[in-house]
Amino acid sequence: MDKFIEIDKIAYDYNRLDEEGNVEGVNRALDGVSIDAKRGEFITILGANGSGKSTLAKHINALLFPAEGTVTVDGNNTADEEKLLEIRQCAGMIFQNPDNQIIGTIVEEDVAFGPENMGVESKEIRERVDESLKAVGMYDYRESSPNKLSGGQKQRVSIAGVLAMHPKCIIMDEPTAMLDPQGRREVIRAARALNDVEGITIILITHYMEEAIYSDRIYVMDAGRVVMEGTPKEIFSKTEELKSHKLTIPQVTAVAVALKEAGLNLPDGILSRKELVAELARLKKE
């Protein structure tokens, strides 16, 4: 797989304002950040609040531009103004609150909005809307009002709206932050399906550890820097290091760690209930 996203030593500053709204200095939100994502990868970026992960996400979609360093998406530098439309069509963005992205009064109208603005022909729009809603499991709700949907369903409609524009990459900036556990599962299941079946590159920004276990690779951010990188097993085997960056581990992993500390011969980096049950069954046989 070739590199689809290349972020090289970028820095970004926010203005710091006094009580009267005057600029009194700057806060460095990103400080020498370098990450990459291969075409078709599922990448998760973890970090506590204020770590810089959402600021980084907006650079991938060219909503923000680095003060230093470069961001390249599918071979296009985000500093090239002539390539901005192409970059934003290539890398779609999903935000925390689905209500901020849904503008149609009917689900299928909302999903059609993006392709219509791109000048796609009516027949193809119909095909894109149907295929996108089917991809996220919302086709049966195509004639429903978004106001009658659950939070998880609304977020899946938002994903379908981005998907209908045929992006090569979807950046999901804490897409489950405002959802209940069921809604979170629905959205992550949809993201995994788009990655597995459609081959779409997924960049997931989250602070929910359980959402990261399905990634190909994880980057951990703290204070505007990348402080850890590795596979889910590698990252979640480093419990103490994660704690130092104000992060926890998945609940199943925490149970496995506790059992290991109690004397059971379990491996590091157990991520799912299925893995834990299999390891416990192995110990029972032994």
CATH code where residue 51 lies: 3.40.50.300
26 φ/ψ angles, rounded to the nearest 5 degrees: -130, 150
Same domain, yes or no: 283 and 210:
no
Tell me the one-letter amino acid at 50: G
Residue 140 lies in a domain: no
Residue 229: the pLDDT is 97
Residue 286: the pLDDT is 77
pLDDT in tens, 70-99: 999 999 999 999 999 899 889 999 988 888
196 φ/ψ angles, rounded to the nearest 5 degrees: -70, -45
Q: How far apart are CA 217 and CA 230, in angstroms?
A: 6
Residue 8 lies in a domain: yes
Residue 40 has pLDDT above 90, yes or no: yes
How large a percentage of the chain has pLDDT more than 90?
60
Residue 2: the pLDDT is 78
Residue 1 has pLDDT above 60, yes or no: no
Same domain, yes or no: 83 and 174:
yes
Residue 170 lies in a domain: yes
Same domain, yes or no: 202 and 231:
yes
Quickly count: other Cβ atoms within 10 Å of residue 143's Cβ.
Answer: 9
The mean of the pLDDT values for the chain is: 91
Q: How far apart are CA 11 and CA 32, in angstroms?
A: 5
Residue 44: the pLDDT is 97
Residue 69 has pLDDT above 90, yes or no: yes
Domain boundary among 242, 258, 275: 242
Residue 59: the pLDDT is 95
By residue range, what is the domain housing residue 236? 3-103+159-242
Stretch 179-208: mean pLDDT, rounded? 89
Residues 156 and 138: beta-carbon distance below 8 Å = yes
Same domain, yes or no: 163 and 262:
no
Domain count, the chain: 2
Residue 23 lies in a domain: yes
CA dist list (Å): 123 to 131, 136, 273:
13, 21, 45
pLDDT in tens, 117-139: 888 899 999 999 998 899 888 99
Residue 139 lies in a domain: no
Of 35-44, 182-191, 276-285, highest mean pLDDT: 35-44
How large a percentage of the chain has pLDDT more than 70?
100
Residue 190 lies in a domain: yes
Same domain, yes or no: 27 and 84:
yes
Same domain, yes or no: 19 and 68:
yes
Residue 19: the pLDDT is 77
Residue 3 has pLDDT above 90, yes or no: no
More confident residue, 284 or 7: 7
Stretch 255-277: mean pLDDT, rounded? 90
pLDDT in tens, 226-262: 999 999 999 999 999 999 999 999 999 999 999 999 9
More confident residue, 2 or 36: 36
Residue 21: the pLDDT is 75
